[in-house]
Structure 1
Amino acid sequence: MTQLPTPRTITLAITGASGAQYGLRLLQCLLAADCKVYLMISSAAEVVIRTETDLDLPRDLEEQQAMLCAMYGADEEQLQLLAKDDWFAAVASGSSSPSSMVICPASGGTLSAIAHGASNNLIERAADVALKERRKLIVVPRETPYSEIHLENMLKLTQMGVIVLPASPGFYMQPQSVEELVDFIVARILDQLGVAQDLMPRWGKIKRAGICRNLA
């Protein structure tokens, strides 16, 4: 009897920086790629989602999960929302946490907490586990301009092996919509995770003549 492959599991945290669209689009793409996702949404992120998107996110965790599962065609096994103080969640322990974690977007406060090992909530603890277990951790800061504190924290995290992937989309693809700008960043995150994506063409497939003409 052929055994089906085990779905890849990824931890995704959405924190209170502007750019909730990045995190929600990444969630959609991960689920579409048949990944299992442990999802954490900070209190500040809930406010940002309601402010920046048309999504009227419920305040109850179970209602949030039901809404997101319905939106993205996932079941409760594939998408599991975790409470901020669920210390028995798999992501809280190195013995069972996934091999990859993404914080998208990552607020300055979250960067600081991770860089200094605060672990005051499940998002920070999950990141701390990723660090101590030498697992892939990707943070997507969305802030401008950066202060010296932000830069120092990002440098410190980079030196720990964290991938710092700022939400700074490129324009060489000649984007025609905000959605395409979002997809630019989400595509880069998926590449870092090793998840197949076709959100944007590869550099070598871009028509050189068209690029040169538009840059002239």
Structure 2
Amino acid sequence: MKKRGWVVGITGASGAIYGVTLIKELLRRGVPVHLVITDAGWRVLHEELDWVAAKRKETLEAHFGGFPGTYTYYPLQDIGAGIASGSFRTEGMVVMPCSMGTLAGISRGASDNLLERAADVMLKEGRRLILVPRETPLHAIHLENMLVLAKMGVKLIPAMPAFYQRPETLDDIVAFLVGKVLDNMDLDHELFRRWGEGNDDNREETAHREN
């Protein structure tokens, strides 16, 4: 049976590496990815990861080609793309990272571009929608928009690292957040050590240092 796949959106919030890592993890598992990147998202991919926005097709293939899973890239204004319709079957959608502008557009059902429209499809069809907001500090409008979406069943996973798994590198911190998203996609992974795994050793090490 053909896998339905997931829609993944990358916006102009800082933290483009989160979305890129998520896509690679999905493709490693053979999960089809339907990819939408905002113009600001391309800007951040260039600023943070040195991606070449002027050569989008070549750049995407360099990073996402050669995996068991396949990806399909949709231009942001391609409002006639398959993912803009509820009749196009997918498992759900993740926006990672999600800017406050995109979150606001989704919360009010604006559908001003393909990313927002695809998210609106998830809401109207009752499919999973996972947003990874990356902003600080947050003001009241940000919080109100998130509350609106949370009441509709949207899963909000802010880009907040945890340290109980004792990250040693930036990759470790990224892997933790991507793993939390995969958990909410019901996809198995071993990207981080879960609480309770090896904690006895951690307590012994802590007690030894304190003594």
Distance of 2:44 and 2:202 partners within structure 1: 37
Q: Which of the residues 166, 175, 195 maps onto 1:183?
A: 175
Q: Which of the residues 118, 124, 135 maps onto 2:116?
A: 124
Match of 1:20 in 2: 16
Match of 2:146 in 1: 154
Seq. identity, %: 41
Match of 1:58 in 2: 53
Distance of 1:19 and 1:186 partners within structure 2: 11
Q: SS in structure 2 opposite 1:17?
A: coil
- Given the superposition, is the C-alpha separation of residues 30 and 125 from structure 1 closer, same or farther in structure 2, using an over 3 Å criterion? same
Paired residues for 1:48-197 under 5 Å = 48-53=44-49, 55-59=50-54, 63-74=55-66, 78-197=70-189
Contact between 2:4 and 2:89, CA under 8 Å: does it hold in 1? Answer: no
Using the TM superposition, give the Cα deviation of residue 35 of structure 1 relative to its aligned residue in structure 2, in angstroms: 0.6
- TM-score, length-scaled by structure 2: 0.92
- Given the superposition, is the C-alpha separation of residues 171 and 214 from structure 1 closer, same or farther in structure 2, using an over 3 Å criterion? farther
Using the TM superposition, give the Cα deviation of residue 214 of structure 1 relative to its aligned residue in structure 2, in angstroms: 4.2
- Given the superposition, is the C-alpha separation of residues 68 and 158 from structure 1 closer, same or farther in structure 2, using an over 3 Å criterion? same
After superposing the two structures, state which structure 1 stretch, 33-42 or 5-14, moved more.
5-14
Using the TM superposition, give the Cα deviation of residue 156 of structure 1 relative to its aligned residue in structure 2, in angstroms: 0.8
Contact between 1:38 and 1:80, CA under 8 Å: does it hold in 2? Answer: yes
In the alignment, does 2:7 pair up with 1:7? no
Distance of 2:78 and 2:141 partners within structure 1: 30
Alignment coverage as a number of residue pairs: 207
Distance of 1:211 and 1:126 partners within structure 2: 46
Distance of 2:58 and 2:27 partners within structure 1: 14
Distance of 1:101 and 1:134 partners within structure 2: 11
- TM-score, length-scaled by structure 1: 0.89
